[in-house]
Chain A
Amino acid sequence: MNALISKVITLLDTEPWRLVVWVVIIVSFAALNAAYLVWVERKGAGRFQRRPGPTEVGPAGLLQPVADGLKLMSKQLLAPAGADSLLFRGAPLLVMAPVLMSLAVIPYGRGLVARDINVGLLMIFALGSINMMAIMLGGWSSRNKYAVMSAARMVSQNVAYEIPMLLVVTTMAMVTGTMDLNQIVAQQSGAFWHWNLFRVWVNPLMPVTFLIFFICMLAETNRAPFDMTEAESELVAGAYTEYGGMGFGVFFMAEYANIVLGCSLATVLFLGGWQSPFGLLPGVTWFLLKMYFLVFSVVWIRWTFPRTQFYGLLNLSWKLLIPVSLFTLILSAGTIKILRALS
């Protein structure tokens, strides 16, 4: 029996099967996360506002995502007259695909990674830009003034926040000396003071770097208080105005999948990935705990702060985040140089 199981496992680890298994795992991970993060979001919103949140469908509203999904799937797919129907239909797919691809290089546990490539960090950020372009295409192709306004806002927002984000990631690549996410996690083994978040001897501003990364992640995933893309109280539903049914559903799944990806990346880069904070029992549980804590913080921030004004958002990036992240980049470059010269 054991021999059979190990044989099956070895078979599943060989090439065509390994691919199939990981596709199934990643797609279901992303889809389940998207569905149940909507539930978490609504429950969280309820709790922060001292309401119970969804309670009617299933125990504690747990079947609410299923009901929402069925409702969205039963809607007719409509493209507005005069819209570029190919781009209009393609945009939700273009939003979803890069996230799923990026999830393939995240190390969830020891050896638990779909594709162990040595430039994982680079790949995630290369694919990350497609996401923004796809939302822009969706807004532009739907031939709706609110959607175009939202798309224009979003492009300037994402350009503004991509810069500090990439500066922070460059800092991390310099500090760790690698773009391989597995190696970055391996460097942070041991207790929590080995985490990159507390590597203050290289760069005393490391916690600030983490904060900048987290803020940029919120802006890149278009989450409140930076949800200029949707801005449901000003721009109808922003870039998603003309989308109904599952087209809209896929945009939202992609938004939540992006949050999971961003939080996973923050966990890997700063919080030691699947390493345990006390050096005991490292594993996938620690990864999920840290990741979901960050996801909870995202919900927490959304229901605490109002949406920023547009110039406030750009001011924050250009006047604060970019100079500070440039400073941390130069500071850690200098420290690394000095440390190398000394040793």
Chain B
Amino acid sequence: MNALKEIYSGFKSLLIGMRITLGQFFKPAVTMQYPHQSLKMSPRYRGHIELVGNPETGKPRCIVCKLCEKACPSDCISLEGVKLEGDRRKSVTSYKLDFTKCSLCGSCIEVCHDGAIRFSRDYNLAGLSKEEFLIDLVARFQAQQAEGKAQIGNPKSEGRNPKAEVQGPKTEVLAEPTGETAKAALNPTS
């Protein structure tokens, strides 16, 4: 009799399992089709650093005080600037970031009192050579400005702006991590 009960309960549990998987079968897919779609990074996401522009002049806010260079524990920042005529402060001419050494600690950003640098939300950073990670941030800033995507604004507030346009090339943002799909991905049983 016990054996029969065991068979019955075992068979029932198999059917329950099959019912659950069939239920999942008809629910929408939750995976992100990465090269075609990508998640929007959270506001606190730490990509490599990038220069912040001044909304009035459209140029980088950086005054080349070199505090970031000194604060960097891995010695991966080196920057140069010139004092242009008529300006009170220096302007940055070259800002080299050696991303191979950067540990994304954020000391440079903490120490910057002009709010001239911040973390980007760029994560499409695969490369085939080491040289690809020696990033020239001034060139990057200018390229972004040409595309109309430059990070212009008051960094004290904008730096925490979750809607900042920082995406890798060829990707299209179709969902945010806080969206319905992400929630479903975290709780597949719901």
Contacts and interface: CB of A to CB of B under 8 A. Distances in A.
Interface of A: 44, 46-52, 55, 300-301, 303-305, 320
Interface residues of B, number: 18
B139 interface: no
Contact of B21 (A46, A48, A55): A48
Contacts of A44: 25
Nearest to A319: B3
Nearest to B7: A320
A52 B7 contact: no
- Which label, helix, strand, loop or mixed, suits the secondary structure of the B interface? helix
B31 A52 contact: yes
B38 to A, nearest CB: 16
Given A300-B18, A304-B17, A51 B31 contact: yes
A301 B18 contact: yes
Interface in B1-28: 7, 14, 17-18, 20-22, 24-28
B21 A304 contact: yes
A305 B19 CA distance: 12
B33 interface: yes
A305 B30 contact: no
A22 to B, nearest CB: 36
19 contacts: A46-B29, A47-B25, A48-B21, A50-B24, A50-B28, A50-B30, A50-B31, A51-B29, A51-B30, A52-B29, A55-B33, A300-B18, A300-B25, A301-B18, A304-B17, A304-B20, A304-B21, A305-B14, A305-B17
B188 interface: yes
Contacts, number: 38
Given A300-B18, A301-B18, A305-B17, A50 B7 contact: no
Contact of B24 (A49, A52, A305, A320): A49
Interface in B30-47: 30-31, 33
Contacts of A52: 29, 31, 33
Contacts of B25: 44, 47-48, 300
A226 to B, nearest CB: 14
Nearest to B6: A320
A304 B18 contact: yes
B188 A50 contact: yes
A305 B20 CA distance: 11
A7 to B, nearest CB: 49
Contacts of B30: 50-51
Contacts of B26: 47
Top 5 nearest A-B pairs (CB, nearest first) are A304-B21, A52-B29, A51-B31, A47-B25, A50-B30
Contacts of A47: 24-26, 29
A300 B22 contact: yes
A192 B31 CA distance: 41
